[in-house]
Structure 1
Amino acid sequence: MENKQEKLINVVFLKVVAILLVVLGHAMYVYTGHKPFQMQVQSSALNVISLYIYSFHMPLFIFISGYLYFYVKIEKNKYRNFKKFICNKFLRLGVPYIIFGFLYLVPIRWLIGYYKLRPGTSHMSLAQIYFKHIVLAEMPGHLWFIYALFGIFILFYIIEKYLKYNVKVSFIILLALHIISYKLPAYFSINNIASYLFYFYLGYLFRDYIKQIIKFLNKNVLIYIFLVQIILFIVGIYFQNAKIYHLIDPGLGILGIILCFGISIKFNNPNNKLIKNRMFQLLDRDSYPLYLFHDPIIDIALSFLMLTKINPFLITAICFIVGMGISLLLTKLFRIIKLKFIWGEKDKKIQLIKNDLSK
């Protein structure tokens, strides 16, 4: 009889919230001035909202990975063979990085003139962009996440046994590494790996101490956590361009994660109407390919919308809907033509045969 893997309902909620925040954040990120598109109408409100989302949405994604790593390796007793672990993560993260980097992200941005609009890349040839942005992974767009996550998985697997000696010391060391990571080189995503390793460990610890954390979060502390987060965020905006912000940044990430995790506990029930919603389940299943597809689609939309004087909130809504809708359609199309391997998804029938043969 086939044993189905236990479904962590709160993680399903967190994954859906995280992907919605990522797409929404990218839809309005142009108003922070960090995309090369010059919009006709600016919005300080969207700038602030975008900065708030960015303060914790990617730490949340990495946190989820660390949380699941503990669950799969420690509780389910998997990931025991290092070579198999690396191969599995390369297929899941490395292959999509190569395919989407070389065949999707760079070609689209090149065709819409993205690199010509960006001061640092306007003089570069296509070959130089491929080498610097994808091979060296200095500026691989939204794909930085999967490149860095691959590095984090490997590094954490190696150092995991040492982190267990003293949790408090390990926490402080990785937090310190996170704070100083901006001084590290960007090539091969060294700075991102060093920075987000802390959030991976945080997720690992949350799963390890899950009973104590749930007990704490059930004490109606979320409103106070939210208030502290907002106050710290306001302080962070004031010191945004100062070195002290690197001390504020991890606080925002941690508080945002705790807030989202606390809310997810309220939905930790398989019979919850939201969890059973078909669209919610679709976003859970397709959150990864949605992440891979969405950002260049938003760039295409912005390359046209920047010529208009449409209200910034309407532009954000258009980019969000177009980014989500087309990404989900592309995901469905690639599933139909059986090309889901491009995001590292295995065919269930083949996987079942392999599992039977390995018994």
Structure 2
Amino acid sequence: MTAQKELKNCTFAKTVLMILIVVYHSMLFWTGGWFKVISPVFSSVVLKETAKYLTSFHIYAFALISGYIFYFVKYDKGGYEETLPFLKNKFARLIVPYIFVSLVWAIPFYLFVNKGTLSGAINKFALAIAPDQLWFLVMLFVVFAVSFFMANIWKYRSVLGLLSVIFIYLMQIVGQRIMPNVFQIWAACGYLPMFYAGFKLRQYSHGENRFFDVLRKIPSIVYVSCSSGVYILSLYIKTFDSKIFTLIGIGVNFSVHVLGALMAFFVLTRLGNFFGDKKIFVYLSKVSMPVYLFHQQIIYLTTVYLNGLVNPYIHSAINFLVSFAVSVIISEILLKFKLTKYLIGEK
């Protein structure tokens, strides 16, 4: 397989993961999370557990694939050489849309629809502590910035690189108990190991490492089975109320994220061989990130106004279809103009 084909498959995988995030948010109401004002009139165990399973891997897989592509561009293609151009590029792709969408969409929605306060808006958006779906952009920018400065250590000093990632991950476990998640610093530290895993996966993608070579040969059905099995095990462990099982649960939960990310990476990139060049997916790859930027507030409206009026499965489907369609329309309008295209992070 050519390097260009691999990159296309990664783009396909990221596109599917972006869509899965919208699917997840469409079901999130039934987990008891996100909404503080109202509760579901009709409960749904299926939607609740499906949403929980999706959240166990989708962002982790996206971080892993981002690390894989980062290595490809920096070392295989010789890009990302200079610090300032790299940071300017990521700022334009991630922070500019964060600022723009916050100001024209998320903050007005928070203030006028959610009846939020100005101090709440400052905490949520100016400090990026909990800026709705936009947290992902800030987190990813921090991950890219840290990874740029750590990349040569990761590549050329494997033991030190691994230890640095472990230290950063442990630091966030302690740090989030001491100070708020300002500018998504602790979230970035939590997702950095997945980015690092993708980085190393690409580094050893040509058979130089036996372990990574084995990973590439494992059938997709095995990845799906292992990921699902460990996830079910994690649910079982949570039924025990003891410190020992709490500690075991931490390790098992981390395994859930790792296996889920690997499962999504290998399954989706393999599917990319068959579907990646289809017109629908080429189009979706163009609008998937803009759709992500705008979808959540639309889901909030459909969730609130349809609560108790329709079957929860129909309700979640409407959440997805309406939010996706409206977000695509918004994206298409913004992509037509050079300025607004830049403001949503597109070239």
Q: CA deviation at 1:54?
A: 0.2
1:122 match = none
How does 1:64-143 map onto structure 2 within 5 Å?
Answer: 64-113=65-114, 115=116, 125=117, 127-143=118-134
Contact 2:227 2:256 in 1 (8 A): yes
- Partner residue of 2:141? 150
Deviation at 1:142, TM superposition (A): 1.1
Which secondary structure does the structure 2 equivalent of 1:139 belong to? coil
Once residues 85 and 219 of structure 1 are traced to their aligned partners in structure 2, the CA distance between those partners, rounded to angstroms, is 34
Change (3 A) 1:51 1:172: farther
Does 1:235 pair with 2:233? yes
Cα RMSD, aligned residues only: 2.3
Give the SS at the match of 2:11: helix
Matched residue, 2:11:
12
Say if 1:214 and 1:268 are closer, same or farther in 2 by CA, change over 3 A.
farther
1:254-296 deviation per Cα after TM superposition (whole angstroms, max 9, x unaligned): 1112212222343454xx3x22322211111222111111111
TM superposition shift of 1:85:
1.0
Scaled by the length of structure 2, the TM-score of the pair is: 0.87
Cα distance in 1 for partners of 2:110, 2:312 equals: 22
1:35 deviates by 1.4
Pick one of 202, 205, 210 that aligns with 1:207: 202
Matches within 5 A, 1:248-287: 248-269=252-273, 272=274, 274-287=275-288
Kept in 1, the 8 Å contact 2:111–2:121? The answer is no
Assess if the C-alpha contact under 8 Å between 1:183 and 1:191 holds in 2: no
Residue matched to 1:159: 150
Please give the alpha-carbon distance, in whole angstroms, between the structure 1 residues aligned to 2:170 and 2:230.
16
The equivalent of 1:310 in structure 2 is 310
Match in the other structure for 1:353: none
- Verify the 8 A CA contact 2:296 2:323 in the aligned structure 1: yes
CA 1:54–1:337 in structure 2 vs 1: closer, same or farther (change >3 Å)?
A: same
Q: Is the 8 A contact 2:18 2:292 kept in 1?
A: yes
Is the CA contact (8 Å cut-off) linking 1:290 and 1:331 kept in structure 2?
A: yes
Unaligned stretches of 5+ in structure 2? 240-245
Alpha-carbon deviation of 1:228?
2.2
Percent identity reads 28
Q: CA deviation at 1:67?
A: 1.2
Superposed counterparts of 1:166-205, under 5 Å: 166-171=157-162, 173-175=164-166, 177-178=168-169, 181-184=172-175, 185=179, 186-205=181-200
Q: Distance in 2 between matches of 1:240 and 1:179?
A: 21
Aligned to 2:227, what secondary structure does the other structure show?
Answer: helix
CA distance in 2, matches of 1:51, 1:24: 12
Structure 2 contact 299–320 (Cα < 8 Å) conserved: yes
After superposition, the Cα gap between the structure-2 partners of 1:191 and 1:317, relative to the gap in structure 1 and judged at 3 Å, is same
- 2:242: which partner in 1? none
Partner secondary structure for residue 310 of structure 2:
coil
* CA distance in 1: counterparts of 2:343 and 2:224, whole angstroms: 39
Counterparts of 1:219 and 1:79, CA distance in 2: 30
Which residue number in structure 2 is paired with residue 21 of structure 1? Answer: 20
Q: Name structure 1 gaps, 5 residues minimum.
A: 116-124, 347-359
* Alpha-carbon shift at residue 98 of structure 1 (Å): 0.9
Counterpart of 1:77 in 2: which secondary structure? Answer: coil
C-alpha displacement at 1:243, in angstroms?
A: 5.3
State the one-letter code of the partner of 1:237.
L
**1-structure distance, mates of 2:265, 2:189:** 23
Deviations 1:173-193 (A, max 9, x none): 524643562432312212101
**Aligned equivalent of 1:355:** none
Q: Distance in 2 between matches of 1:46 and 1:114?
A: 28
Residues matched between the structures, number: 328
